[in-house]
Structure 1
């Protein structure tokens, strides 16, 4: 009998060990499988956050591999969708990323009225995951013709609310509980209070607490079963209260001490006396992980102690938000909470502002980073957005793991914030849960259904019948962008060019070549692959409709808002003092003449569209059209006008798309066709190019087509001018440098106009090739003389 009992006990021990080992293996497999495919982080720095509606917007984007924390060098296609505050799409752009970063720059126009706008960045690959991995940044745009009310920094107490966050989401009776408190207004601006109270049903004060500048605080208390508790605060003569959630008779919660020496993390799993009895002989696994990097340990309550202390080394954990989970024997999650682990070192930054000749300033920077990409925005000290709200660290290490990302993260990573660590721990306490839910990890591992797109694909069929298609080649060319590619035909006379990196509205030429490398005429069909890049989370964001603040501090009326005044910057004065010299006027006497000045911008098609024609691309074949503005309502006006470039008729209007207006010297528009014979009866357009402009496009007899939905065209960023110093100080930009590359010496210099500034604000964001991040805001002063 003894022998049998001994065998039974040994078998029980072995079975228990096997079950524990098996569960830990299953947990590891579930987590590693769920995070098997690399995910991307995107952060975008804008040169500022408030713009008037005739400015350029500049931004620099950074893409990081979420597992390795290194730049995501394989990502190339970034989709941008811009929404207004009614969640209507205003504009779309495809942005080109290289070596883990991308840039954008575009000029505002009358589509952007006064209001808030949301810039949504994502990749097609992100659609493979249940969680939203995209990035959204909001900006404000101001119409110069309307007075602008400067906003107060004070929170709106009329919309204030209290949110409570019990540790691990549960309040357990007869044991010590930590309760997070968050007090914010409708715009999620934190409210700082000095004396909040917790009272019971008899109005006894059970605990007191305060909140920090972000509105976060906490208190401890030991609740009595069936008692009712209420949180009360008083702020600015207003009283707010909120009842605590129902007290539970038992359960499990998680606490921790993240401030021990030797990189030790102490986690306490606790219950009450009822829980000790309930969980006897039950085994749990404590799991700490970020993505697929995890550590775990088994524990029980068999020693009749309601608290179990488990220690880990933080050196085995990833920097940023990690999740602590308690998993039972059936692989169900019992409870969870978040923790922020800080194992990174901060780069050392030295900045110096020096005056130089010609009323300019020089920013000299030294950062102990090698092979890093940075973006730097320099603003007047009094710019109305004086507080930096976002941070690349806050996006990559914090927001990318939260169900509800924080709108303002910079203070939690500000090197000048002396309470940075405490503020971050309070923020993490006041979170509901990790956005990576355990049930999804268990049941819904991602499947790679959406490819990571790289450029676009051009394919089609050659109509000419050939006995040996493999001996023929198809050539693809863009003369202006210097693209020259060749591919072979398959046995079905099909061709394909993949990973074509070209700007939007690029004109391509395509032709068939035989084995002797001679051009062979044939009709060639062209299909441009434009995949559906709509993000499945495209509208998974909210815009709180909040009442306006009643205590606006100041109203700005722009000098140029006088509608009766004439803005001379937008007027071209002709024949006032010196007659404009037109070189090609002879023979074009009946036409309206345009001498192209340096103030013109955009493409040649844009110019014609601003001067009496409808221009664009046919939706059926993406070919260029130029039509009379009345062609939709007046009969016999749908044909194109005759277009000449340097007196040579252009039979393929796609060639017009090759030219920007700054390559043109003169344009003559004769809508009646009186200055020559008009074949279509819809007028004549004569274009004369500047000397030295490339005319090779005009000589080709190849088949042409326009690539639409390509990468957005590069626009040179320009600082906007303001009428008064006050307007510039509040809204202007001194310099925007989005592409600073640090090599081995780790130094950089930026020169910019002084604009009567004695103190400036410098905002630096970026990362190095080994994944080190930098995010700093500095106020620098300079002396009056060099």
Structure 2
């Protein structure tokens, strides 16, 4: 909307007198760019234009002025809008938040754009399980399709008891830094003793002037935050002047946060005295500025946002001040502040013109940012209410109907637990993950609190959280770089397989499955290097690479090298040291709940330390019919440089075991110095007369196991299925080690403990694939447990239009 003269706006207001119009015209030179406004001397009310907004071109003229060469649009608006990056957000819905050491963490991933609509840009999500120090234990690559994906982490008894974390992000999110990754705390139980970790208490007291600084000769608002070992802690305190006179008092209101207001006298200094845990802290308040503008807000009204602009007598309006409304680099609007005739001026804005979630107000002086304040806007029009009611009971199962109050399409996940579940504490929801956390720096303690309707002061406490965010002085260039960073990291649409091959009988190269189905074809164009891109492949898949002639006739490459694929980096995470409870179980309770071997472990490829654990169980189960004591053997890893060699070459150079003849007559295997080795192939002992005729190639072998006995060795070699069926494999197979992790089918764990006595630790069901069609309803069926008092349903999800669904529903 092109700039309009203030006079034209006032003429539309019949309640204003001509004398006021005249005075207003002479003294209030406010420029409205996207806003239509009514302005009063002490109270100004704004409502955003309903027209299609646009930036006014600097070459356009109005009948009030000609824009200078360097305008606010050119310095701030256009750079924020130039090459705007897509903004992604991530949420993981977990089936519960406390797990036994042999449990499985089941989760569903949601990836959205800045408006909370499903993201169609990314197909790969990185999810990590971290220990209490923030070190990565396991990684998962989750396939994201139309904004959702599923996965799981298999736990085992190598994990110590305590606090762990889940971290999730897309590669593209790295453009915006580390603060926007999804982060959630969980508990893993693996210990008899319940105790608190010992350590020195670490206190942290912080002061946050509203807007970013204090001003002499004006009423100031300041936020106070007290942390004990990284978590909010109760406190009380006061502010005193240089004469030790109390001028304001305060006490913690929520999660170690509070605020107070006081008049900052000229040439005065102030100190905050804060008492927490019988410890008194003295913190000097920041020195106040001699002149300037304070930025305060009142967000208590559900429909109107009040913006209070304060100044003092020393401040002369010789500079140009502007207010920018935005959500990161998404510009909502901006307005120029007039030459104020009073030290306190109130602007009122209709909230329907702001976006859902955290909005930011930035104050500019001569196109340089000088103050900032965040506020939250709840969009009631996007609220979706959900109900669950019993539908039918059939044999040992119950059917429940899930219904929303609107006809819409939605993707949901539901965790079903006992009504008195001890293993579930909701601290993160899709609403907190999409509407709050991405727009706030640092860790938020229990963000789900601010979105639970039963918390009557949640809006007040949320504003307190945003007040205590603080603000770091930026130059305009630094601010623009922070909000609209340069493009560095790509969307990931799959995986790559790269390498080189020569000679080239043809220029067409194919990637095939184990069953010789062509996945992808590329044209080499006289190059020896190749790259198959954007592949939907999974860890553990077997691939083949072949040249193709006419009519897809395959030709085996003579010299083929496949690069070791480098995954996009998973990051460790800086965890603030905190004093946490190591176990949520008492000693006597653990004795009865001891779940060693109580939950069935599924088979899955996981990282290093745990991979051996699960693969060993699989190998023992597979080969025990052939070798009764297979559990005494260790699996030998086979390095890549042996893949084109034979068995005897591998034994010689990897195991120091070679064929020798005793007295030139009998052939046997010698290992080390004067020690012997025995060889079994598929459970059959290979005699001395047969050893010299063994010609197995490494690519014909699935596993090689060894059992050392006092320096001697017994080798168990197990051949591939193709070898056993006498099938000659012309093409080498490559095992995919860097691909998507396959989702597993959910199954409820089987417990050894008394389920009736400890029903609050049970896990009933996990439904990650619920879809609401246009009717806004669907059904789920769960196994009936008559011993339970009722069920707890944790429901999370979103609609195609970006409405978020987050409910905890209990049914007795």
Q: Which residue of 2 aligns with 1:113?
A: 160
Going from structure 1 to structure 2, the CA distance change for 1:622 and 1:148 (only over 3 Å counts) comes to: farther
Offset of residue 169 of structure 1: 2.1
Which of 221, 238, 261 is the equivalent residue of 1:220?
261
Gaps spanning 5+ residues in structure 1: where?
1-11, 572-598, 658-666, 673-679, 782-786
Going from structure 1 to structure 2, the CA distance change for 1:397 and 1:651 (only over 3 Å counts) comes to: farther
Q: Which residue of 1 aligns with 2:733?
A: 704
Contact map agreement 1:170 1:251 (CA 8 A) in 2: no
Q: Distance in 1 between matches of 2:232 and 2:515?
A: 51
Q: Distance in 2 between matches of 1:551 and 1:100?
A: 35
Q: Deviation per CA, 1:128-167, whole angstroms, max 9, x where unpaired?
A: 3456432222222111x5234599xxxx997665432221
Offset of residue 412 of structure 1: 0.5
Q: Distance in 2 between matches of 1:557 and 1:188?
A: 28
Going from structure 1 to structure 2, the CA distance change for 1:547 and 1:414 (only over 3 Å counts) comes to: closer
Q: Which residue of 2 aligns with 1:452?
A: 491
Q: Which residue of 1 aligns with 2:549?
A: 514
Which of 325, 342, 349 is the equivalent residue of 2:386?
349
Which range is displaced more, 79-88 or 47-56? 79-88
Q: Distance in 1 between matches of 2:516 and 2:281?
A: 63
Secondary structure of the structure 1 residue equivalent to 2:160: coil
Secondary structure of the structure 1 residue equivalent to 2:770: strand
Which range is displaced more, 443-452 or 388-397? 443-452
Secondary structure of the structure 1 residue equivalent to 2:436: helix
Which of 75, 79, 88 is the equivalent residue of 2:126?
79
Offset of residue 359 of structure 1: 4.6
Going from structure 1 to structure 2, the CA distance change for 1:416 and 1:58 (only over 3 Å counts) comes to: same
Q: Which residue of 2 aligns with 1:164?
A: 207
Q: Which residue of 1 aligns with 2:192?
A: 146
Q: Distance in 1 between matches of 2:468 and 2:252?
A: 12
Going from structure 1 to structure 2, the CA distance change for 1:73 and 1:554 (only over 3 Å counts) comes to: same
Q: Which residue of 2 aligns with 1:576?
A: none
Q: Distance in 2 between matches of 1:518 and 1:342?
A: 62
Query: What does 1:456-535 correspond to in 2, within 5 Å?
Result: 456-466=495-505, 469-470=506-507, 473-479=508-514, 484-492=519-527, 495-523=530-558, 525-528=560-563, 530-534=565-569
Q: Distance in 1 between matches of 2:535 and 2:187?
A: 35
Q: Which residue of 2 aligns with 1:374?
A: 412
Matched, 1:53 2:85: no
Going from structure 1 to structure 2, the CA distance change for 1:484 and 1:71 (only over 3 Å counts) comes to: same
Contact map agreement 1:146 1:557 (CA 8 A) in 2: no
Query: What does 1:311-460 correspond to in 2, within 5 Å?
Result: 311-329=348-366, 331-344=367-380, 345-353=382-390, 356-367=393-404, 368=406, 370-385=408-423, 387-433=425-471, 438-442=476-480, 446-460=485-499
Q: Distance in 2 between matches of 1:161 and 1:200?
A: 22
Contact map agreement 2:120 2:147 (CA 8 A) in 1: yes
Offset of residue 99 of structure 1: 0.9
Gaps spanning 5+ residues in structure 2: where?
1-60, 602-613, 624-629, 659-670, 686-693
Secondary structure of the structure 2 residue equivalent to 1:725: coil
Query: What does 1:190-201 correspond to in 2, within 5 Å?
Result: 190-191=233-234, 197-201=238-242
Query: What does 1:288-307 correspond to in 2, within 5 Å?
Result: 288-290=325-327, 291-300=329-338, 302-307=339-344
Q: Which residue of 2 aligns with 1:43?
A: 91
Going from structure 1 to structure 2, the CA distance change for 1:113 and 1:549 (only over 3 Å counts) comes to: closer
Q: Distance in 2 between matches of 1:350 and 1:778?
A: 8
Going from structure 1 to structure 2, the CA distance change for 1:716 and 1:13 (only over 3 Å counts) comes to: closer
Going from structure 1 to structure 2, the CA distance change for 1:370 and 1:435 (only over 3 Å counts) comes to: farther
Matched, 1:265 2:295: no
Which of 174, 177, 202 is the equivalent residue of 2:217?
174
Contact map agreement 1:671 1:684 (CA 8 A) in 2: no
Q: Distance in 1 between matches of 2:444 and 2:763?
A: 26
Matched, 1:742 2:772: yes
Offset of residue 379 of structure 1: 2.0
Secondary structure of the structure 1 residue equivalent to 2:401: strand
Secondary structure of the structure 2 residue equivalent to 1:717: coil
Secondary structure of the structure 2 residue equivalent to 1:450: coil
Going from structure 1 to structure 2, the CA distance change for 1:570 and 1:380 (only over 3 Å counts) comes to: closer
Going from structure 1 to structure 2, the CA distance change for 1:438 and 1:483 (only over 3 Å counts) comes to: farther
Secondary structure of the structure 1 residue equivalent to 2:146: coil
Matched, 1:612 2:630: no
Q: Deviation per CA, 1:436-495, whole angstroms, max 9, x where unpaired?
A: 9854234676333332222112244453444xx35xx43322246966433444233655
Contact map agreement 1:288 1:325 (CA 8 A) in 2: yes
Q: Distance in 1 between matches of 2:539 and 2:369?
A: 49
Matched, 1:96 2:143: yes
Q: Which residue of 2 aligns with 1:676?
A: none
Which of 104, 128, 142 is the equivalent residue of 2:175?
128
Secondary structure of the structure 2 residue equivalent to 1:452: coil
Query: What does 1:719-738 correspond to in 2, within 5 Å?
Result: 719-722=748-751, 723-725=753-755, 728-738=758-768
Which range is displaced more, 311-320 or 482-491? 482-491
Going from structure 1 to structure 2, the CA distance change for 1:199 and 1:517 (only over 3 Å counts) comes to: closer
Q: Distance in 1 between matches of 2:698 and 2:401?
A: 50
Offset of residue 715 of structure 1: 2.7
Q: Which residue of 1 aligns with 2:322?
A: 285
Matched, 1:207 2:248: yes
Offset of residue 506 of structure 1: 1.0
Q: Which residue of 2 aligns with 1:62?
A: 110
Contact map agreement 1:148 1:557 (CA 8 A) in 2: no
Which of 274, 295, 314 is the equivalent residue of 1:254?
295
Which range is displaced more, 745-754 or 236-245? 236-245
Contact map agreement 2:295 2:307 (CA 8 A) in 1: yes
Contact map agreement 2:700 2:719 (CA 8 A) in 1: no
Q: Which residue of 2 aligns with 1:590?
A: none
Going from structure 1 to structure 2, the CA distance change for 1:240 and 1:701 (only over 3 Å counts) comes to: same
Matched, 1:778 2:809: yes
Contact map agreement 2:541 2:736 (CA 8 A) in 1: yes
Q: Which residue of 1 aligns with 2:788?
A: 757
Going from structure 1 to structure 2, the CA distance change for 1:521 and 1:338 (only over 3 Å counts) comes to: closer
Q: Distance in 2 between matches of 1:751 and 1:64?
A: 29
Q: Distance in 1 between matches of 2:263 and 2:637?
A: 71
Q: Which residue of 1 aligns with 2:29?
A: none
Secondary structure of the structure 1 residue equivalent to 2:550: coil
Secondary structure of the structure 1 residue equivalent to 2:318: coil
Q: Distance in 1 between matches of 2:69 and 2:306?
A: 22
Matched, 1:714 2:774: no
Contact map agreement 2:411 2:799 (CA 8 A) in 1: yes
TM-score by length of 1: 0.77
Contact map agreement 1:456 1:529 (CA 8 A) in 2: no
> What is the RMSD computed on CA atoms of the aligned residues?
4.5
Q: Distance in 2 between matches of 1:699 and 1:551?
A: 56
Secondary structure of the structure 1 residue equivalent to 2:167: strand
Q: Distance in 2 between matches of 1:269 and 1:768?
A: 39
Q: Deviation per CA, 1:674-693, whole angstroms, max 9, x where unpaired?
A: xxxxxx9944437899xxxx
Matched, 1:29 2:86: no
Offset of residue 505 of structure 1: 2.0
